[in-house]
Structure 1
Amino acid sequence: MLKTYRRVFSVAGSYEPQLKIALLLSVIASIVQGIIFALFFPLLSALMTSPIQPQTVWILLGMMGVLVLVEGMLRWKELDFAWDTSNDVAHETRLRLGEQLRRIPLEELNRRRSGDLNVVLSGNVSEIVLWIGSLCTLIIQTIVVPITIILVTLFIDWRLAIALLVSFPFAIPIYRYFRTLMGKALRDVTAVDAEVASRVVEYTQGLPVLRATQQVGQQAQRLQEALSVQRSVQSTAQQLSNLPAIALSTLVEVGIFLVLALGTFLIVQGTLTVPTLFALLVIALRFSEPLAQLTGLLSVFDLMESGLERIEAVMNIAPLPVSPPAAHLTHSDITFEQVSFRYADQIEWTLQDVSFQLPERTLTALVGTSGSGKTTIARLISRYADVQRGTIKLGGVDVRSLTPEELLQHISVVFQDVYLFDDTIRNNIRFGRSTASDADVEAASRAANCHEFISRLPHGYETTVGEIGGALSGGERQRISIARAILKDASIVLLDEPTSALDTESEVAVQRALDQLVSNKTVVVIAHRLSTVVGADRILVLDQGQIVEQGTHAELMEKGDRYSSLWQAQQQSRQWRIAA
């Protein structure tokens, strides 16, 4: 429980002082409440004394009334955090998670499923952080009130205190045992919920493929399996959640019976009065209420613990370090010095002792079969991850000495699979430079050869492109992404064969846009069709993570080696025809 509270303070962030004040108020209010209930002993004794002592009765009632008002004011003040500040904590937590996602190495980010991150950002923050204040103060009340009652009762009659305490020690091992079971069960529930969320995203985004292959409905095996596991895990957790309730409620009943039996024995012995026993039973019922509540809080507390763990896991991912002193780029040449790299959890090297130097304002093509390391080289230029051996330099500066903001300011990337946000065309282009004016956006779109088709749309630049740009064709999406890169005007441009999936007409339009983008830039292009990079200043041929050839098209064709074989194979494939 203390570990959970430490996590709570960590998540509270800058609002930790307010949370501590709320918890302190809850402790004080709970102590006051415990004293109120403990005063039942002298009050009932005074009422049943013959003759009744009115002065004592009114003093005790007055004390209880004042304490009730004090507790009420403390509770209202305590709720300030639960009602108002908890919303601020949730908002700040989302901002901190968003900031963390910007710092997380892309390699680590790509390993996490979108559904899992969605559960952390929305579900865990909403379900856990918003209720931190209420849950923490309720748990404090559940623990502090019984302890206070016992301590006050010690001063009244130590035997009564022992009678109240008799069931309390048995609750602790029961709580700890079921807390362990429920903790594991709820972590499993959270994990399968994240898995299902990922599968739902995958299923909805892949519906066109699923329909085309008749894999919708019961045939969507991956989603069906995830839902089946979720049902099983949730059923087990539900069954486990009922066990502590039964165990602790039985303990409560046994405890009340023991108090009654002990009180009856003391009355028979003549050492306890009936009014005191009556008060003891009233207090015992109030004392047992928190133990009964503990069963309900058990699952909620473990759910909070599970959510806090997931938030903490994301927040604890270390960003890529920046070697001091932080440097600035003034040139755009690219150098790889004996670079070796492998992805996390992989044994085989993806790149092995790769070395090359690309002068600024030149166009270099990376060619080779799938899995040869082309995409990895492009990723490492933008510091997708840090290499295990060797050095990567931009403008003579080690990328590990550049902050992410400084590095990415000088790099534009045009992917083969374009991602557009569900926003207007204007705002999608403006992602390249947030301060750009409408005139700048239009100039970039003209340069990218997309102004004409945008103008034909009903709402022009204010047209919403839909999720992932689904309202536009592949060529249109590609040209908008190029316009975005043109607007950014970075000195280094990375191209992941942006024309390979386009029809001839779209390819021509996109190629003209690319000509505008790469003018006077340092360009690295991943080429699948060798015919598109014949005019490159240099071609690097990769095979199994190593550079096996490099040179111009003419030089490589003259050597008649690996590149020449790839070229001949692609030329022959152009002659292929589908026969009847």
Structure 2
Amino acid sequence: MNTLARLRPYAGRRWWLLPGALVLSALSALLGMAPLVFIWRIVRELLVPSAPDSMAFIASMGWWAFAAAIASLVLYFLALAASHLAAFRVEVQLRRLSMRRLVALPLGFFDRHTSGRVRKIIDDDASITHGFLAHQLPDLAGTVVTPLAALALLFVFDWRLGLASLLPIAAGMGLMASMLGGNARRFMKLYEDSLEQMNSEAVEYVRGIPVVKVFQQTVLSFKRFHQSILSYRDMVVRYTLLWETRMSAYTVLVHGFAYFLIPVAVLLITHDEPALGVVVDLLFYLLLTPLFAQAIMRSAYITQAKDQASEAVERVEALLDVETLPMAEAPQALAAYDLEFDEVSFRYPGAERLAIEGVSFHVPAGQTYALVGPSGGGKTTIARLVPRFWDAACGQVRIGGVEVGALEPGALMDKVSFVFQNSRLFKASVLDNVRFGDPEATREQVEHVIDLAQCREIIDRLPQGLDTLIGSEGTYLSGGEQQRIALARALLKDAPIVVLDEATAFADPENEHLIQQALAELTKGKTVLMIAHRLSSVMDVDRILVVDQGAIVERGTHAELVARGGLFAQMWAEYRAAMRWTLGRAAEPEEANHA
């Protein structure tokens, strides 16, 4: 589909400004050529006087040239103003629709798409469409009109010189067309793909800078980022070399037109043409012919910009076309808050094997169940199906007897609090970060959950307390402190179902103790499904589900599973051995000192 046709719906009522900009730009281009004609007439009058009053004629031609130049500038300014108004509307709409789509997409989408890639689509690709509509599109009219008008003028004064001018221009246009053909379009797609990949890997590299600094590594240690740079370089160099010969020939042709004109002029003079008249006409053609070269180069830039804009629109629309999770036609309400998995299986998009298969369990309302097991067994997948990061491939996930897909998404999110391993805080005040749990909460309510989440000592040492902006003036929180603020946010939300994805995974011992206290407040009287790697944290839960290779292989209380001697008992023995080893290693220096 034509790039303009694809962009038209996003311009809304401002779309008419773009045809208007084209018309104004075309008129500007025509008026921009008029001074050349007037200047030629001035030169001709100076060399071959023909007017009754030469000085008056020259003065009038000068004023006409000045007026045409000013009018051309004014019309071009109006064309740019009109195109910018439409371009800004398109850019804003693309970003607004993209942001709305992101909010509506299942959270699982963000597991498969890096933040760098999403940022490029919303920011860079939307800006590319603006550049094309605001700048290159108005220039398109001038690029078409200028050579057509110049072509007519070529044969008005002397068709022989006109033909001599046209030969190198025609050859140059043929070379440019060959450079802007299929290879150029394929390159533009490869270029945008590699730029997107490099941008995505750059974001991940910046996030990993602390690791790079600590271990004194370089960009070479980030193989994917380094490889994306090398791939981009190799592709651009290969394409540049492809253009080398043709671009050199093109430059010689379009900028060496004088070598075609002068021999023809000499030939005309030697065949009894008036020498002065031929020289005057030659000067005109020397002024006029460069307009073709400018138009050809401008057409190359416009074609490149159009291809970039087409790729950009395709990427934005690919984001807009990502399917949201299906919504129930008649959403149901919840009357109970027990949680049930009924023969649930799930496969990640693009994966060959199932991540989980035939998972069934029931968490009674108000009880706490823990998911434990080897890494990659499917614990996180199970947990993320509760708030509909994804929909199950088969089977059902139910809350209070209602399948989660039959709930309105907003209502589901209101009833489920999900605490991640590494919760993120926004660059906003602590107060606003906590209020994400309940935007209508009063300051007193926020203060209350701050105390429940064991965050009071954090707030007391911040320069502006709750009003301190995270990330400003060197104000940063440790991972454990951020987790406690996130727990305060979850406490404020006060959802009846809580899903914990190893909330203490990256906390130091002191923060872990405080987080455990906050979790005790958060889960009080709630239905809780928690993922645990530290087995000491699941000793008192109501039931433990052992997950391995996508299935629940054991279930029971801590004591029952240890007594059973299965996988959990093995994990528990290894955990205790690791703890004894750590304590033993810590005690060795003290024993040495006493000795």
Indicate the larger mover: 155-164 or 206-215.
Answer: 155-164
Q: Which residue of 2 aligns with 1:19?
A: 18
Residue-by-residue CA offset, 1:524-569 (whole Å, 9 max, x unaligned): 1112233323343333222211122334445545655444444444
Q: 1:431 aligns with which of 425, 431, 436?
A: 436
User: Is this contact kept in 1: 2:366–2:526, CA < 8 A?
Assistant: yes
Letter in 1 for 2:146: V
Query: What is the CA-CA distance between 1:484 and the residue it aligns to?
Result: 0.6
Query: What is the CA-CA distance between 1:346 and the residue it aligns to?
Result: 1.8
User: Is this contact kept in 1: 2:87–2:129, CA < 8 A?
Assistant: no
Q: Which residue of 2 aligns with 1:494?
A: 499
Q: 1:533 aligns with which of 523, 531, 538?
A: 538
Query: 1:109 and 1:14 mapped to 2: Cα distance?
Result: 34
Matches within 5 A, 1:281-320: 282-295=287-300, 297=302, 302-320=307-325
Residue-by-residue CA offset, 1:45-102 (whole Å, 9 max, x unaligned): 99999965999x8999999888666644432221214555545544444333332332
Indicate the larger mover: 447-456 or 401-410.
Answer: 401-410
Q: Note the residue ranges of structure 1 that are not aligned, 5 or more in a row.
A: none
Residue 108 in structure 1 maps to residue 113 in structure 2: no
Residue 509 in structure 1 maps to residue 509 in structure 2: no
Question: Alignment partner of 2:580: what SS?
Answer: coil
Query: 2:427 and 2:515 mapped to 1: Cα distance?
Result: 22
Question: Alignment partner of 2:357: what SS?
Answer: strand
Residue-by-residue CA offset, 1:369-423 (whole Å, 9 max, x unaligned): 2111110011122222233333333344443444543432332111122222233
Question: Alignment partner of 1:146: what SS?
Answer: helix
Query: What is the CA-CA distance between 1:494 and the residue it aligns to?
Result: 0.9
Indicate the larger mover: 256-265 or 291-300.
Answer: 256-265
Letter in 2 for 1:455: D
Query: What is the CA-CA distance between 1:301 and the residue it aligns to?
Result: 5.1
Q: Which residue of 2 aligns with 1:209?
A: 211
Letter in 1 for 2:22: L
Letter in 2 for 1:385: W
Q: 1:461 aligns with which of 452, 462, 466?
A: 466
Q: Which residue of 1 aligns with 2:121?
A: 120
User: Is this contact kept in 2: 1:413–1:495, CA < 8 A?
Assistant: yes
Residue 341 in structure 1 maps to residue 342 in structure 2: no
Question: Alignment partner of 2:499: what SS?
Answer: strand
User: Is this contact kept in 1: 2:165–2:260, CA < 8 A?
Assistant: no
Letter in 1 for 2:434: I
Query: 2:283 and 2:216 mapped to 1: Cα distance?
Result: 72
The 1:349/1:303 distance shift into structure 2, 3 A limit, reads same
Indicate the larger mover: 20-29 or 7-16.
Answer: 7-16
Q: Note the residue ranges of structure 2 that are not aligned, 5 or more in a row.
A: 589-595
User: Is this contact kept in 1: 2:169–2:292, CA < 8 A?
Assistant: no
Question: Alignment partner of 1:550: what SS?
Answer: strand
User: Is this contact kept in 2: 1:47–1:53, CA < 8 A?
Assistant: no
Question: Alignment partner of 1:337: what SS?
Answer: strand
Residue-by-residue CA offset, 1:406-443 (whole Å, 9 max, x unaligned): 43233211112222223332222122222322222112
Query: 2:318 and 2:527 mapped to 1: Cα distance?
Result: 38
Residue 352 in structure 1 maps to residue 357 in structure 2: yes
User: Is this contact kept in 2: 1:241–1:299, CA < 8 A?
Assistant: no
Query: 1:474 and 1:333 mapped to 2: Cα distance?
Result: 32
Query: What is the CA-CA distance between 1:156 and the residue it aligns to?
Result: 9.2
Residue 80 in structure 1 maps to residue 84 in structure 2: no
Indicate the larger mover: 207-216 or 254-263.
Answer: 254-263
Query: 1:424 and 1:80 mapped to 2: Cα distance?
Result: 39
Query: 2:332 and 2:245 mapped to 1: Cα distance?
Result: 60
Residue 99 in structure 1 maps to residue 100 in structure 2: yes
Query: 1:162 and 1:400 mapped to 2: Cα distance?
Result: 73
The 1:171/1:573 distance shift into structure 2, 3 A limit, reads same
User: Is this contact kept in 2: 1:104–1:318, CA < 8 A?
Assistant: yes
Query: What is the CA-CA distance between 1:229 and the residue it aligns to?
Result: 4.4
Query: What is the CA-CA distance between 1:3 and the residue it aligns to?
Result: 3.7
Letter in 2 for 1:458: P
User: Is this contact kept in 2: 1:113–1:198, CA < 8 A?
Assistant: yes
User: Is this contact kept in 2: 1:100–1:315, CA < 8 A?
Assistant: yes
Query: 1:329 and 1:147 mapped to 2: Cα distance?
Result: 71
Letter in 2 for 1:533: V
Residue-by-residue CA offset, 1:257-282 (whole Å, 9 max, x unaligned): 66777788889698xx8576765554
Residue-by-residue CA offset, 1:97-117 (whole Å, 9 max, x unaligned): 332332344333222333333
Percent of aligned pairs with the same amino acid: 31
Query: What is the CA-CA distance between 1:145 and the residue it aligns to?
Result: 2.0
User: Is this contact kept in 2: 1:26–1:140, CA < 8 A?
Assistant: yes
User: Is this contact kept in 1: 2:453–2:515, CA < 8 A?
Assistant: yes
TM-score, with structure 1 as normaliser: 0.82
Q: Which residue of 2 aligns with 1:391?
A: 396
Matches within 5 A, 1:190-229: 190-216=192-218, 223-229=225-231
Q: Which residue of 2 aligns with 1:143?
A: 144
Question: Alignment partner of 2:533: what SS?
Answer: coil
Query: What is the CA-CA distance between 1:351 and the residue it aligns to?
Result: 0.8
The 1:148/1:386 distance shift into structure 2, 3 A limit, reads farther
Q: Which residue of 2 aligns with 1:476?
A: 481
Query: 1:67 and 1:26 mapped to 2: Cα distance?
Result: 14
User: Is this contact kept in 2: 1:328–1:402, CA < 8 A?
Assistant: yes
Query: What is the CA-CA distance between 1:350 and the residue it aligns to?
Result: 0.5
Paired positions, count: 578
User: Is this contact kept in 2: 1:38–1:149, CA < 8 A?
Assistant: no
Query: What is the CA-CA distance between 1:160 and the residue it aligns to?
Result: 8.5
Q: 1:442 aligns with which of 439, 447, 453?
A: 447
Question: What is the Cα-based RMSD across aligned positions, in Å?
Answer: 4.3
